[in-house]
Amino acid sequence: MYKLLFIWRYFMKRRMAWMAIVAVTLVVMLIVTILNIMNTILNDTKSNNHRWSGDIVISRDSLVGFPYYENFLTKLNELNAITATTPVIKTYAIIELNSLQVYGIQMENFSNVTDFHKTLFHQKNSENPTLILPENQTLRPDQHPLTAEQKKRGCILGCYWITTDLEQLQLAHETRLRPERQVPIDITIFPINSKGSLTGSALGETQRFWYMDACQTGLVDIDQATAYVDFDELQKLTFMDGQDGSPARISEIRIKCKPGYDLTETHTKIQKLWDNYIATFKNQTDYHLLSDVKVQTWELYRRSFIVPVEKEKNVMTVTFSILSVVSAFIILAIFYTIVTEKIKDLGMIKSIGGSNWGVQQIFIGYGFSIGLVGTFFGVLFGCLLVINSNHILDFFGIQIWNPKIYAIDKVPNTIDINQTIAIALVAILFSTCAAIIPAMKAGKLKIVEALRID
C-alpha cells in the first residue's frame, strides 16, 4: 500500500512530473498525427495505383510495343483465375503545345479491369461507360453535326491537366465542358514502326477528338498529363494496327484476377504461360519485340511511384522515434532529480522495512503512471487533430499539399486503430523503461547513508 501512496504523492505534488507528462503528451500527439496522416496517404497511394493498374500488367518499356497479342488474350481468358483482360496502347502526344501520355483503351474492358469508370465525372459509376459522343448535340451556329465515325473519337482528360481547382472543374462540367457541346481536342502523334523508326508525316499525325469526360484517379502523374481515347482509333493513328505490313502491336495487357486467387501464384502461372507462348515465335524476325516483355504485379509496375511515399513515411517514423527517445531522457532526468532530492524519504522507507525491490517499484510505477497519463492525452489530442485537421486548416486558410504535386487537396483524416494502439504501447513502455535506472539507484541506497543526509 505504501508504494501506491508514494506514487500518488510524487505524482500530485511534483511539478516536474507534470512537465514529463506534457513532454510525453506532445510527443505522442505529434507521432499519432503525422503517422496516421502518412499511413493514410501511403494506403491511398497503393489503393489508387492498384485500381488504375489492375492486378497484373504485361508490358514493354518501349513505344514500339509488342505483337501477337490476340491469341495470348484468348489464352488468358481461359484461365480460371482471370476475370477480365484488356489490351492497352500507350504513346506520347502533343495537345495545345503541351506533351502528355495518351492511352488507347477499350472502354468497357478497361473499366472491368481497373474500375476506371468510377474515376470519371460525367459517367461516374455508369454501367455502360463509353468514349462515343452522345447522339444529341448542342451546336453553335458555326458547328456541324458529327458523323458516326467522328462520334467514336471521344477523349477523356486527366482532371489536373484541365485545372487543379476541382470546384472550378465541376462548374465547367455543368456549363461548357459537356460531351454534347463538341469541345474539340486536336492530338498530334509521331508514330513509330516495328523497327523503332518514325513513320508517317514528318510533322506528326494529327487527329481531332472531342471532349467526353474527365477522370480523377488520385495519381498525380496520371491526372496531370494523360488522355484516353478509343483503342482502335489510337492503334490506327500510331500505325500499330499493321498498316505498315507488320503484325498489329499493343503496349500493355492489363489483367484482373478473380477474388480468392493468390496474386503471386497467378503471376507465376501467367509468366510461365507467356514464356511458353513467345517460344513459338523464336524464328520470327520480330521476336526481339517479345523477348523483353515484362509480366509484373501492379506493385512492381507502379513501384517507382509507391517507393517515394513509403520512404517519406519511414523518414517520419524514424524522426519521431528519435523524439520518443528524447522524451524518455527527459523522464530519466526528472527521476534522477527526484531520487537525489528524496534520499531521506527513501531511507525512512527502508528503515521501516521497505525492501530494495519495493523502493524500485515506486519509481517504476511512477514512470508507468506518467507514461499512461501522457499517452492518454497524447492519443486523445492526436486523434482529434487528425479528425478535424481539414476544418482547422480551412479556418486559418492554410493549404499543406499542392494538388499539382500530391494529387490531394485535403488532409487525410482516417485513424489507423492498430497503429495508434502500437504507438500508445511503445510510449508507455519508453516511459516505464526510463524509470528503471533511477529506480535501481534508489533501491541500492543504504539506510545509514540515506538518513545521514541533512
H, E, C per residue of 173-239: HHCCCCHHHCCEEEEEECCECCCCCECCCCCCEEEEEEEEEEECCCCHHHHHCEEEEEHHHHHHHCC
pLDDT at residue 344, rounded to an integer? 59
Q: Is residue 426 one of the residues assigned to a domain? A: yes
Q: Is residue 299 one of the residues assigned to a domain? A: no
Residues 388 and 287 in one domain: no
pLDDT at residue 360, rounded to an integer? 67
Residues 284 and 404 in one domain: no
pLDDT at residue 346, rounded to an integer? 60
Residues 24 and 86 in one domain: no
pLDDT at residue 59, rounded to an integer? 95
pLDDT at residue 86, rounded to an integer? 97
pLDDT at residue 357, rounded to an integer? 63
- Interatomic CA distance for residues 219 and 213, integer angstroms: 17
Q: Is residue 369 one of the residues assigned to a domain? A: yes
Residues 133 and 275 in one domain: yes
Query: Can you tell me which residue has the cell 484482373?
Result: 256
Residues 374 and 411 in one domain: yes
Q: Which of 266, 292, 318 is the last residue of a domain?
A: 292
pLDDT at residue 441, rounded to an integer? 64
3-state SS, residue 47: helix
Residue 413: name the closest of 394, 429, 435 by CA: 394
User: Is the CA virtual torsion 392, 393, 396, 397 positive or negative?
Assistant: negative
* Structural element, H or E, at residue 250: strand 249-250
Residues 83 and 166 in one domain: yes
**DSSP code per residue over 108-156:** HHHHHHH-GGGGBSTTTT-SS--SSPPSS----TT--PPPTTGGG-EEE
What's the grid cell of residue 259?
477474388
Residues 236 and 322 in one domain: no
- Interatomic CA distance for residues 168 and 162, integer angstroms: 10
Residues 105 and 25 in one domain: no
Q: Is residue 22 one of the residues assigned to a domain? A: yes
Residues 24 and 96 in one domain: no
Task: Identify any residues that bridge with 57 across adjacent strands, giving them in sequence order.
Answer: 254, 296
Q: Is residue 53 one of the residues assigned to a domain? A: no
Q: Is residue 246 one of the residues assigned to a domain? A: yes
- Interatomic CA distance for residues 107 and 132, integer angstroms: 10
Task: Provide Rg for the chain, Cα atoms.
Answer: 32
Q: Is residue 54 one of the residues assigned to a domain? A: no
* Domain total of the chain: 2
Residues 344 and 209 in one domain: no
Residue 242: name the closest of 452, 68, 118 by CA: 68
Say if residues 440 and 332 touch (Cβ distance below 8 Å).
no
pLDDT tens for the chain, 454 residues long, are 445 555 555 555 556 677 778 888 888 898 888 888 888 888 888 999 999 999 999 999 889 999 999 999 999 999 999 999 999 999 999 988 788 999 999 999 999 999 999 999 888 877 889 999 888 777 677 777 888 888 899 999 998 888 767 677 777 767 677 787 888 899 999 888 888 788 877 778 889 999 999 998 988 888 888 999 999 999 999 999 888 788 999 999 999 999 989 999 999 999 999 999 999 999 888 898 998 999 999 999 999 888 888 888 888 888 877 877 777 777 677 766 766 665 556 656 655 555 666 666 777 777 788 888 889 999 999 999 888 887 887 777 776 666 555 556 677 788 889 989 998 998 888 878 877 776 666 656 555 454 554 5
Q: Determine the structural domain holding residue 180 and report its residue range.
A: 61-292
Q: Any idea what DSSP says for residue 279?
A: G
Burial class (CB in 10 A: 0-12, 13-18, 19+), 248: middle
Residues 187 and 288 in one domain: yes
Q: What is the largest CA-CA distance in the chain?
A: 106
Q: Is residue 167 one of the residues assigned to a domain? A: yes
Q: Which of 292, 321, 348 is the last residue of a domain?
A: 292
Q: Which of 270, 292, 314 is the last residue of a domain?
A: 292
Q: Within a 10 A sphere around the Cβ of 240, how many other Cβ atoms?
A: 27
Residues 175 and 264 in one domain: yes
